[in-house]
Structure 1
Amino acid sequence: MFFKNLQVYRLPAPWAMTAESLASSLASHAFAPASSNELLRQGWAAPRGDGTPLVHAVNGQFLMQLATEKKVLPAKVINQVAKAKAAELEEQQGFPPGKKAMKELKERVADELLPRAFPIRSDTRVWIDPVNGWLVVDAASPAKADDVVKLLLKAVDRMPLESLRVQRSPVAVMTGWLEADEAPYGFTIDQDAELRATGESRAAVRYVRHTLEPGDVGAHIAAGKQCTRLAMTWNDRISLVLTESLAIKGVKPLDVIKEGNNVAHNDVERFDNDFVLMAGELAKLLADLVEALGGEARG
């Protein structure tokens, strides 16, 4: 249940929309499997499975899920079939198809093969905290999060959603933490980092499970490199990697959280307990991280 990657957005706090109203808006864009001639289909699916609401609400927190079904049609297969058809054409007409004809042939082959392509489904979860105004997409890439946001804005009329903006540059702040060998209150610096030069060379040095010695790191900073990724631990409860774009990756709840989780009597209770626990911890983490980055940028 715990989100592994956080692409963070802002809503007004508090956000007045109810789970029922949000689910009603999503219903017009509910997921349905792709038809035989469709390569891609996206839509909202129930996060707890079929027959449950599109928005799962517990203790005022919302959980949603975008389902994506994409058919796999390898270029190698298309090229192989197109090559065979091109050979047949050459035999019939006495000369090979030209560049334009070959392109059109490949397009026709792709259309013919599409109904037999194997569909692969992936799910992207979304957490909304209406109380504190957070919307978080569990996605490693901004492009994947953009897919979620675009469909959400299409479904919910005039949704007041914005990207998270902070007062200080994450790159400058992370570089400062490393240079001073001191993390902000509530955080500790771990053993993974990336420093990258800003000049034409784009030289980079990466530390992976390696002690960040102040002397070594300081020499790289003095040479003009800045920190673009930094592994940290928050309050001995969650480990994470902060990136230059304000994305938070590699999120892992530590044992202190797992040990404190209540024992559930069934799968439904366990799902809800895990969700409430995650929402509570991540809301505090995000608030502390924004504060460490100088607070939110307004206007």
Structure 2
Amino acid sequence: MWFHNLQIYRIPAPWAISAEQLEAFLAKRVFAPCSSLEMQTQGWTSPRDSGQLVHIVDRQMLIALRTEKKLLPASVINQVTKDRAAEIESEQGFAPGRKQLKDLKEQVTDELLPRAFSQLRTTHVWIDPVNGWLIVDVSSPSRAEDALKLLLASVDKLEASGLRTVHSPLTSMTDWLVADEAPSGFTVDQDTELRANGEGKATVRYIRHTLEVDDTRRHIAAGKQCTRLAMTWNDRISFVLTEGLAIKRIAPLDVIKEESDPTNRNDSERFDGDFLLMTGELNKMLNDLVFALGGEPAV
């Protein structure tokens, strides 16, 4: 299994919480489906359908957040409320007041909720207690924050913070394009986004397009900065780095796929082997990327 996106946090290393302790913490907030009157529920679930809330391979931990959300559009609630209000006005001879409309809207919501469709979503979190990484596999920072908030509420005295580097990705990516030189161990690929800081935030995007040095330098000289940059690390992993220090569109390349040989392995062994390979490669890639961004600031 491979993560597709990385929202990156730091935890103290070595991490003092064992897999058994983490299991006990998460067990207090296990996922339960929505009741008939709930719009959304969240909780921890088994990442491998084994009943265990923490899957561990060579000290690397994998946990999973399950979210159920009722799909009940506000437009539907408002339309039904409007129709009911018209009926009430016809019966009583005058339009419902503000409080009556508020109560009516709540009543309509309660009536419609049991019939609403549900959307289930699972968010995986990788915890590296050896090197101090806490990685959430989502593209949205807000969804990563949801997972982190529940983890902070579940685990006593958990310390976690967003990854910070001495040089910002925005400045570094722009500098790499101006110099036409990627940092050691990396190459620049064909996708990038350049955006101006002005009110209009004029944006230029290159998609599967060779970056011409003169073109990118001209845009940068005009005041644009690089906000997204596709890169490859050591011919092993391709990804897109964002200005917010998130990593998206991760793809292991052929050299890694060849090392993940599924021959004569069952599903469990294949999963564990791929997870161990992924965590090992991503740990090295993250270390190189942090170094390329000037390292982490001293505390």
Normalising by structure 2, we get a TM-score of 0.96
| 3-state SS of 1:190 partner | strand
2:292 corresponds to which residue? 292
- CA–CA distance in 2 between the matches of 1:90 and 1:141? 44
Which amino acid in 1 is paired with 2:188? I
| AA in 2 matched with 1:60 | R
Q: What is the match of residue 122 of structure 1?
A: 121
Aligned residue in 1 for 2:41:
41
In the alignment, which residue of structure 2 is the partner of 1:274? Answer: 274
In the aligned structure 1, how far is the partner of 2:171 from the partner of 2:74?
Answer: 43
Q: In the aligned structure 1, how far is the partner of 2:237 from the partner of 2:295?
A: 21
What is the CA–CA distance in structure 2 between the aligned matches of 1:206 and 1:105, rounded to whole Å?
48
Structure 1 Cα separation of the partners of residues 281 and 5 of structure 2 = 14
Please list, as runs of the form range in 1=range in 2, the aligned pairs for 1:1-299 lying within 5 A after superposition: 1-49=1-49, 51-98=50-97, 101-263=100-262, 264-299=264-299
- Secondary structure, counterpart of 2:43 in structure 1: strand
Q: Note the C-alpha offset of 1:108.
A: 1.9
Query: SS at 1:143's partner residue?
Result: helix
* Aligned-partner Cα distance in 2 for 1:35–1:201: 46
Distance 2:24 2:97 in 1: 52
- Residue 43 of structure 1: how far off its partner (Å): 0.4
Corresponding letter in the other structure for 1:123: T
In 1, the alpha carbon distance for the partners of 2:131 and 2:208 equals 34
Name the SS of the counterpart of 2:250 in structure 1: strand
Q: How far off is 1:267 after superposition? A: 1.1
Q: How many Å separate the matches in 1 of 2:260 and 2:211?
A: 33
Q: Deviations over 1:160-200 (max 9, x none)?
A: 21211101111110000000111011111011111111122
Aligned length: 298
1:47-93 deviations in Å (ceiling 9; x for gaps): 001x4310000011000000001111122322332232122112201
| Partner SS for 1:136 | strand
Q: Deviations over 1:247-298 (max 9, x none)?
A: 1111111121111113252111111111111111111110010000000112
User: Structure 1: how far apart are the matches of 2:23 and 2:58?
Assistant: 16
Percent of residue pairs identical: 63
- Cα displacement (A) at 1:100: 5.2
One-letter amino acid of the counterpart of residue 86, structure 2 = A
Opposite residue 75 of structure 1, the aligned amino acid is A
Tell me if structure 2 keeps the 8 A contact 1:262–1:273: no
